[in-house]
Amino acid sequence: MFDSLDELSRKLAATGYFIDPVMVQVVYLAAKLKKPLLLEGPAGSGKTQLAISVAAAANTHVERLQCYRGVTEDKAIGRFDEGLQRLYMEFSKGQHENWQSVQANLKGRDFFRPGPLMRALECDQPCVLLIDELDKVDNGFEAMLLEILSAWQLSIPEFGTVAAKSIPFVVLTSNEERRLGDPIRRRSLYACRASDSGARGGNHRQPHSEGRGEVSPGDGGDRALVPQLFP
């Protein structure tokens, strides 16, 4: 998405979103290494806005999965359009040799209405996939995300595996209502975000790696942060 740190910093600034140089490094590395960026911090700390600003800087769009208690895989991945299937059956009467032929057609991609995860994988050019407030879902839903975050594909029983046409830049956000699982953390670059004092005015950020403590801009740890992000 970006050829250099300078390009990323310049394009983010052009959107009106300013972050410290260490956080720019974290965003750049996540994009370059095709790793999810996990942002934890209180509501209103600019986590969602960072994803939106990265999309604007990259001249792409955001596919957003808003998490909440009770969100289903259908909401995230997609589901078959039953109304369209019924309409197809009505207008195709007498055009199929047997019921198996009808079923094969009804379970085709044309009748599947994709959710944000599938739409992100099917983009011809990389988009930003924002999975917002992941801490609101249970461990089972979180585990469902591991396939897309590891292999960049989705397995849908009715018509097989959907592989990514392009790899999205993934931003996971958490308000820390619960601790996210280690499998998600191991697959991500991690940054903790302090309370937002104005994401569009040069506010303070605290990127760090899980289990290694916080490294704040200006404390002499900026250069040490990058290698610490990778165990």
Assess contact for 182 and 175: CB atoms under 8 A: no
Assess contact for 87 and 76: CB atoms under 8 A: no
pTM, two decimal places: 0.79
Assess contact for 153 and 113: CB atoms under 8 A: no
User: What's at 205, amino acid-wise?
Assistant: R
Number of separate domains in the chain: 1
pLDDT of residue 112 exceeding 80: yes
Query: For the residues of 179-197, what is the DSSP string, one character each?
Result: PPPHHHHHTSEEEE-PPPS
Per-residue pLDDT reduced to its tens digit, 165-211: 999 999 999 999 999 999 999 999 999 876 554 455 444 344 433 33
- Could you tell me the CATH number of the domain that includes residue 195? 3.40.50.300
For residue 112, the enclosing domain spans 5-228
Distance CA 202, CA 178 (A): 29
3-class DSSP state of 31? helix
Given strand 128-132, what is the order of strands in its sheet? Answer: 62-66, 128-132, 169-174, 37-40, 189-192, 206-207
Assess contact for 37 and 222: CB atoms under 8 A: no
Per-residue pLDDT reduced to its tens digit, 22-51: 999 999 999 999 999 999 999 888 899 999
Helices marked H in the chain — which ranges? 5-14, 21-33, 47-57, 73-77, 82-91, 99-106, 116-121, 139-144, 146-151, 182-186, 222-228
